[in-house]
Amino acid sequence: MLGKKLVTAQKRGETRALCLGLGMVTCSMMMYFFIGITVVPFYTKSVWTTETVCKVLKANIKDKVLCPNSEGSEDEDIFPYPCLQVWVNLTASGQEVMLYQTEDTLERNPKCSYVPGKSENSKEVKARIETIASNFKKYQTFPCYYDPGGTQTNVILSRLYPPKGLLFAFLWPTLMFTGGCLIIVLVKISQYVSVLSAWQ
């Protein structure tokens, strides 16, 4: 009687462990799919792939020309803000080009180097933009990214999804997939050993 109870408990434990492993594998595959349709397209779409050194030529804040937060947007929370324009000397080609914060900045407003997020306090936004401009004037040389193919003549300060970020995004689903597969393999080995012991 006790032996039957132990066998039943063992089978239940194996079933739960097997369900856990299959669940982990399923969740990891869903995460792979989600990353594949969200992060990967932005990574492959970016043409600013080569890192070089940029030297600041001028950083101006156009107080009289206020840029909209997003062209064609009907969002009521959007407010005008001072337009920061940073021009740099591209070391790779020696050209004078405009610097943008990220790829998204160019799409949201090609006239400004920096596009702030939504905020109700315009004074804080203005102070932040002035701080960024002063930092550019203080640190004249810094790494930036440009398009080696020449499709885009401008440069960006940082990529939204760099290679390290893409690898980090795939790290967790990979660990979950590996853990799930490992649990399934251990359960199968345990079942095989149990069957082998019972046969002997």
pLDDT-flagged residues of the chain (< 70): 1-10, 63-79, 92, 118-121, 198, 200
Residue 70: predicted pLDDT:
47
Q: What pTM was computed for the model?
A: 0.69
Show the tokens assigned to 127.
């102070």
Per residue in 95-132, pLDDT tens?
889 999 998 888 888 888 988 876 656 778 888 888 89
Q: Are 107 and 119 in contact (CB under 8 A)?
A: no
Domain boundaries, the chain: 50-161, 163-199
Provide the H-helix boundaries in the chain: 2-45, 103-108, 122-138, 163-199
The pLDDT score that the predictor gives to residue 7 is 52
Joined together, the tokens standing for residue 188 give 């199968």
